Amino acid sequence: MGFLLLVTLARWLPLADPVGIDLSRTLVHPTPGHWSGTDELGRDVLSRLIFGGQSTFLVTIGATALAMFLGIVLGLCAGYRGGLLDRALGFAIDLFWSIPFVIFVILIVSIVGVSPLTLILTIGGINWVTAARVVRAETARLSREPFVRTARAYGFGEWSVAFDQVMPNLKSVLITLTVYAAVEVLTLETGLAFIGLSLPAPRPTWGGLLADGLSYFSSAWWLVAFSAGAITLTLASFQVLAMHFEKSIETRLR
């Protein structure tokens, strides 16, 4: 999470221009002047890595927030009300799961074009399925609990019970789902950037840095090593957080 702080404060840190070209310092090894070396155009790799994290985290946070919002609202409503709404959501979940996410995103981005908003809407708009299914099942279970029947008996409205009584009991599950969703979104965004379907140059992205560095891997290992390291460490951090929350839920249930 320290890298997230660096990315957030990048504008105020003493970093080199991430798009500034210096052909006299191309493919320089990591040195005190360039802690992560330079690329084929003499651009500072560390600066591009940190500023590239802004693009990657922007899409990851935005798409995760959209996916969780859709998943929570749809899952909560369907799980609580049941009936036709529940069957409709079940059909939508089966439909979305029958379509490979990556192919669907690539198709939309190829047609509409690439921008942060397009990526957020596209990835978030198809990645809500897991959250909706889990929230739907948990809501259906909680709606049969005594505290829900008591709230109804006291005259609380149906949606008041759903959002004020049921939803707070989903907090731990929602936190875990959010972290896992962020892992999926970050992986997908990085993969799109790697094949050239994320934010266009000269704006750096982690997947784009990794793809560009592969062409020089034999002579400039640092171009791949640092970008791959940032992606791996970030994904590992999210996974550790998710596992921590998952264990907390299991402990509480016991």
* Domain membership flag for residue 213: yes
Considering only residues 45 and 201, tell me which one the structure prediction assigns the higher pLDDT.
Answer: 45
* Domain membership flag for residue 133: yes
The model's pLDDT over 74-94, given as tens digits with 9 standing for 90+, comes to: 888 888 887 788 888 888 888
Q: How many CB atoms lie within 10 A of CB 177?
A: 26
Q: Is the peptide bond before 200 cis (omega within 30 degrees of 0)?
A: no
If one counts the domains in the chain, the total is: 1
Write the CATH number for 167: 1.10.3720.10
Is residue 233 within 8 A of residue 3, CB to CB? The reply is: yes
Q: Which domain holds residue 100?
A: 51-253
- Least confident range from 35-44, 163-172, 239-248: namely 239-248
* Domain membership flag for residue 30: no
* Domain membership flag for residue 8: no
Considering only residues 148 and 221, tell me which one the structure prediction assigns the higher pLDDT.
Answer: 221
CA 123 → CA 18, 47, 132, 149, distances in Å? 26, 27, 15, 38
Considering only residues 194 and 66, tell me which one the structure prediction assigns the higher pLDDT.
Answer: 66
The model's pLDDT over 5-60, given as tens digits with 9 standing for 90+, comes to: 777 777 787 888 888 888 888 888 888 878 888 888 889 898 999 888 888 888 99
* Domain membership flag for residue 14: no
* Domain membership flag for residue 241: yes
The pLDDT, as a whole number, for residue 254 is 55
* Domain membership flag for residue 204: yes
State the DSSP code for 200. P
* Domain membership flag for residue 242: yes
* pTM of the complete model: 0.87
At 203, the pLDDT band (50, 70, 90 cuts) reads confident
Is residue 237 within 8 A of residue 221, CB to CB? The reply is: no
Q: Give the C-alpha separation, 78 to 67, whole Å.
A: 16
